[in-house]
Every structure is written in structure tokens, then in C-alpha cells.
Amino acid sequence: MPAPSQPELYRPKLAYPDIPYGAMLDRPAQLYPEREAIVFKDVNLTFRELDGLVNAFANALRDVGLGRGDRVCLFMTNRPEYVVAFFAIARLGAVSSPMNPSYKEREVAYQLADAQAVAVVVQQDLLPLVRAVRGEVPRLKHIVVVGPGATAASDVVRFADLTAAAPATAPSGTVRSGDELLVLPYSSGTTGLPKGVLLSHGVFVANNIQFLSSIRATDADRFLIFLPFYHIYGLMLMGGAVHAGVRMVVMERFDMAETLRLIVEQRITIVFAVPPVLLAMASRPDIGKVDWSSVKMFMVGAAPTPPELARRFKQLTGVNVVQGYGLTEAGPITHLNPVHDDSRLTIDTAGLPCNDTEQKIVDIETGERELPVGEVGEVIVRGPQLMLGYWNAPDATAAALRDGWLYTGDIGRLDAEGFLTITDRKKEMIKYKGFGIAPAEIEALLFEHPAVADCAVIGKPDDEAGEVPKAFVVSKDKTLTAEALLQWARGRLAGYKTLQEIQFVEAIPKTASGKILRRVLKEEERKRLGLA
């Protein structure tokens, strides 16, 4: 069967305004100046107040010498200052580089140096890490501190002091082209050192609008955002919420009790999550007693969601789970299931391409041969949301961007209607006697067992087969044996995909966004076998 045609019926072409990213705040500030833009703990900011703070911080940064193209790292958890800083840096024409708050000294030094940061906005409790490595990053000239207990010193200035002293008038003439660099996020680095991803103003404007169109957002929506702003998923939610004029209810991090309280109190309409959050909620005994009446959907991304988990959550709460797909290199969203038609909503796929996004499945070996419906290969995409390339990595850029297409490194297949199913990462396929086995397929099977709370599958080295599938399982039933679970799984997938071994563990190692760190499991397995 040939490749499916593009689903224009579901995703019509969009018009993208020719504006810099900082202007995305202009619309709600003009239309809804007194509407709440951000709710965070006991802080409530209107769009008028947010706009004024953004301008003040942009002017303050300019007054200390920052300008177009300068790199500013953002090293903090979710908070209103993150939104203010990101938009202010954009309006100034400088470049944000988000940093993971869980970083240690070595990682902090690496990103500050690699991004060539001249300034960092850091929360007070993370300041010691920046101070510890400052001698290794001579380009770093300015440290701005935020958060509880923020204290000025000879080497740092308080965010609050800068904004209080600066005018709230808009800085002018700072960004001249949509091709100018806006943000330099770093890839998750599951293999090797993280790479900086070059994303322009035009890319982020386009992708925010693609996202809002795909979820059918209106200005009556209320977003609950606990996903981290330092992650590309969180940045997309932040920008989309601002541009759409919706109330953004922000949490510093996911907390089950607080999440459920805010959903009810704030009458949240859309919750954005990753699979571990969905798993935690579906495992909570009283989850069905929560008032879910305001919630239209849970949008889940950043890692594949086991279909059985999504079905279980829908049965318990009555709320649709809408799965999407994307990656940092695409700003990030490229696919989402249709949210307007329950009959086309599927929890077994990543959905259809977003507006103005094309897709293909190509052979894994060369990437040059397009595969027909149902065949598994590498997913490639094309659209207005693609990165400019990788920072200081021309070879990696040339490998990822070819003839206008982004080679995602993800493995998947298309059905006849163009719905995409992601099966695994290209580098994580298990090679069993020449057959490719997707670990996520076996994981999805294991999640169907009522005693499996979480799991991960890797290829275990094997002299005869090359690799055989091995599962690491977190069990809800301590009486469950490995042999019983192996017997249950046997025969439910093709013979060459048969699970060979199960090891029970207390937790599965994952990134903050929920991606399984198979690299960690593989390293531990090789050590156990004496191969490391």
C-alpha cells in the first residue's frame, strides 16, 4: 500500500504573523489587560502587569550592556520570573538558554561555557552552583538572582531590584528578522553530551500557533502547567498560553495533592502531562472521586504513552488522554491526535501531523527510500517549526537536516489515514538475529498486566542472537514472580519478540520529561555480565 496522503481535512493551512516572538504578548496585553495571565502560589499577574514587567526587565538588561545575540541562561524552576525573563530576553533580541535545575557543577559549567552565556538568571538556592564554576566561564559577566531569600551581593543583582528601577516602556528595534535566534535549548543528552538546538523567532511563533490550533485552544481555557519551562514542552505551553490569552496556572513541579486541588479550585480545562504523571494518577485509589467536570483533556507527550495506561485513566476519570509527539529540534510539536472528534481520537498513536507539517517513513539504513503504509522505519518531518541546526555541530546538523526534512531518529509507522505510531528510538532498537524489536512494544504489553506499575525493556547481549529482550519491572504485587510474568507474556507477541528475562526493580531511571534512560540500564547490565 502506498504512503498515505497528507490529512489536510484535519489540519488546514494556517497564517503565521510576521512578528518577533516577544510580540506574542502584545495581543493579550491589548485585548485582555486585566485578565489573569499567571497564577502561582499567592502571586496573580494580569496581562498588563506581565507586559510591564517584561519591558522593565528587557530595559534593565539593556542598561547593563546586554543586546542582540547575547546568550542568557535561565537556571530556575517554574515561576513567574521565568516567563518574564524569557519574553524580556526575546524583546531585547538576546537569546535564552534554559538549564535543568537538577544540574550539578559539571553540567552547569558545560552549558554556560558551550552556550557562551554572558548572563544567567538563577534562583537563590541554585546560586552556589553558579558561583562554584564561575572561574571556568570567563564570558559570564552578570548574575541575576530570583526566588525566596534572593539577596544582592558584590557579584549578583536581584531580579526585583532591576525591574523596579527600569521603565516599563517597550524596547524598540531589537529584532529585525524572524530568522534571528530566539532560544538555545539543549537536547536531553541520553547519548553523549547534550547538543544546543538553534531555534529562531519565526520557528517558535509558528510552532506556538500550530500547537494552539491543534488543541483547539480558546481564550476561555485554563492551562495547568507543572511541566518544567526549561524543557521544550514546557516552553511551548508557556508561549502558547500567553499568546492565546488563557490563564496559566503554574506549579514549581508536579505534586499530586496540589495538582488535584488546583484542577478543582481553578477549574482547569487542559492538563499537560508526561506518562509517569499519568501512571501516578491512574494508580491513586481515589482518583475517580476528583471533580473532573471542567477538564476537557489530558495532553500527554515527551515519551510514548502505553495505550493500556491511557485507557485505564479514561475509565477512572472520564477524561480523554490526547497523545502528541514532537522533539526539541522541531520546536517541539509535530503531531497530535484530533481533539475535535472523539470518533477519531486514538490513544494507540501519536496522531496526525500538525498544520503545515509533512511526514514520511523512510528506510532506517539510508533514509532515502519512502516506505509504504504499515512498514516500520525512521520518521522524518518537514514544516515551518524546524530548527536552524545544532550549535557548533555542522556534522550533526547535516545528518539531521537533509533536503528540508528533519530526520528525527525515532522509529515508527503510518496507517492508511496518516496516523503515526512511534515504536522506539532508532538507537534503541533491539537486534535479535537480524530482526528489529521495539522495546516500547514489549513495554506496552507488560503494562496490560494488572501487577505492573512501571517497566522498561532493553536488549541484553547474547552470543547466539546478538541481543535478547530483557525487562526491568516495578511490581505492585510482591508475590508476582518473574517466571509467572514471563509465562503471561509468552505468545502475546511474535515469537522473535519473546521476552527472555525479567528483573524486578524499585524504580525505572528516567529523564525529567519521562523518557526511559535505557543507557543507564544497559550500562548496569553490561557491568553485571562483566562486559563493562
What does the pLDDT look like over 350-400, one tens digit per residue?
899 999 999 999 998 889 999 999 999 999 999 999 999 999 999 999 999
User: In the chain, how many domains are there?
Assistant: 3
Q: Which of 382, 398, 426 is the last residue of a domain?
A: 426
Instruction: State pLDDT tens for residues 461-503.
Output: 887 777 899 999 999 999 999 999 999 999 888 787 899 999 9
Distance, CA of 508 to CA of 15 (rounded, Å) = 43
Most confident of 248-252, 274-278, 521-525: 248-252
Quick check: 532 and 520 in contact, CB under 8 A?
A: no
Nearest CA to 360 among 301, 414, 302? 414
- Residue 432, pLDDT > 90, answer no
Average pLDDT over residues 153-165: 95
Distance, CA of 477 to CA of 229 (rounded, Å) = 36
Tell me what pLDDT residue 105 has.
86
Task: Identify whether 28 is part of a domain.
Answer: no
Same domain, 446 and 419: no
Residue 396 phi/psi, 5-degree rounding, is -65, -35
CA 218 to centroid of chain Cα atoms: 22
pLDDT tier for residue 148 given thresholds of 50, 70 and 90: confident
Average pLDDT over residues 76-97: 97
Same domain, 108 and 251: no
Q: Which of 177, 192, 217 is the last residue of a domain?
A: 177
CATH of residue 456 = 3.30.300.30
pLDDT tier for residue 174 given thresholds of 50, 70 and 90: confident
Strand order in the sheet with 117-123: 157-158, 142-146, 117-123, 71-75, 95-98, 181-183, 197-200, 389-390
Task: Identify whether 270 is part of a domain.
Answer: yes
Distance, CA of 354 to CA of 415 (rounded, Å) = 16
Lowest mean pLDDT among 95-104, 343-352, 357-366: 343-352
Angle between helices 232-244 and 201-215 in degrees, nearest 10: 70
Task: Identify whether 194 is part of a domain.
Answer: no
Distance, CA of 312 to CA of 453 (rounded, Å) = 12
Quick check: 381 and 358 in contact, CB under 8 A?
A: yes
Amino acid occupying residue 6: Q
Same domain, 500 and 457: yes
Parent domain of 94: 43-177
Instruction: State pLDDT tens for residues 285-329.
Output: 999 999 999 999 999 987 777 788 888 999 999 999 998 999 999
Average pLDDT of the chain, as a whole number: 90
- pTM comes to 0.82
Same domain, 408 and 453: no
Same domain, 524 and 407: no
- Residue 7, pLDDT > 60, answer no
Instruction: State pLDDT tens for residues 182-221.
Output: 999 987 544 456 789 999 999 999 999 999 999 999 989 9
Strand order in the sheet with 247-250: 43-46, 36-40, 247-250, 222-225, 270-273, 297-300, 320-326, 333-336, 352-353
CATH of residue 413 = 3.40.50.12780
Q: Which of 426, 460, 492 is the last residue of a domain?
A: 426
Same domain, 133 and 111: yes
- Residue 237, pLDDT > 80, answer yes
Distance, CA of 309 to CA of 41 (rounded, Å) = 31
